Amino acid sequence: MEKEVCRIIIADDHAVVRTGLQLILDETPDLSIVDEARNGQELLEKLCINNYDLVLLDISMPGKDAIDVLKEIKVAYKELPVVIFSMNPDDIYAVRMIANGASAYINKETKPNKIIEVLRTVIAGRKYFFPNQAEMMADIIINPEKNNSVLHNSLTDREFQIFTMLAAGVRKSEIAEKFAITKSTVSNHRNNILKKMNMSTNSELTRYAVQNGIIQ
C-alpha cells in the first residue's frame, strides 16, 4: 500500500526559504509542500478553503504577528499541527510559542535531516522538543520562582510582542498599525512593560533585549 503523503503549507515571506524547504522535502516520499503563503493573513485565508496536514509558520513576517496567527489557528483548527520556523534564538521564543499550541520550534539553521525528523514526529501526533527546549521547560516546572525572575517572562504575549518591537526601535504608530490598536494603547502597554521590567526608557529595553539575545 502506498504511504499517505503529508500535505504541508508553509508561511514565510522569503522566497528563498520556501524554495529551500521545498527542495529538502522533495527528497522525502511522505512529506510534501503543497501550498505557500507570504504572510499570516494569507495563511489564514488559505486554511479556510483548503485542507492541510501541517503548517510551517515563520515567526517573523509582515502584517499579523506569528503569535496571533498561531492562536487563531489553534482556536479554529485545534488538531492541525503548527511548527514554528525561525531565525530567533529558540531558547528565548520556543517556550512561549509551544505554550500557545505550537508542536515544535525549529531554528532555520537546523540541518535538513533533523527538520525531516521533527516534521515526521509532529505528523505522528507528538510534540518535538530539542534538548535545550526540554531542559528549559523542565526548569520552568521545577523552579517557577527562577523563571519568574527572568524579566521578560513576566510579560503577557501582547506585551512581549510590543517589547521586542520597541527594543528594535519600531515607532509607536507602526506598532499600533500592526496590531490594529491606538497609539495610546501602545503607550499603556509600554508603561506596563517598563514597570514589570523595572526600567524607564526604550534604550534600557533595547540594551536588555540585545544582552539576552532577543534581538540582534
* Residue 101 in this model has a pLDDT that exceeds 70: yes
Q: State the Cα–Cα distance between residues 167 and 202, nearest whole angstrom.
A: 6
Name, in order, each residue with C-beta under 8 angstroms of 107's C-beta and a sequence gap of 6 or more.
Answer: 86, 87, 88, 89, 90
pTM for the model stands at: 0.84
Say yes or no: domain 6-139 is CATH 3.40.50.2300.
Answer: yes
How does residue 109 score in pLDDT terms, banded at 50, 70 and 90? confident
Give CA–CA dist 193/162, Å, rounded.
Answer: 9
Specify the DSSP class assigned to residue 197.
Answer: T
The whole-number pLDDT of residue 214 equals 83
- 67-82 residue pLDDT tens: 999 999 999 999 999 9
CATH architecture of 150-211: Orthogonal Bundle (1.10)
Per-residue pLDDT band for 116 (boundaries 50, 70, 90) equals very high
Residues 185-208: tens digit of each pLDDT: 999 999 999 999 999 999 999 999
Average pLDDT of the chain, as a whole number: 89
What is the model's pLDDT at position 149? 52
The predicted pLDDT at position 144 comes to 64
| pLDDT confidence of residue 90 | 59
How many other β-carbons are positioned within 10 Å of the β-carbon of residue 147? 16
Please give the Cα distance from 62 to 177 (Å, whole number).
11
What residue ranges do the domains of the chain occupy? 6-139, 150-211
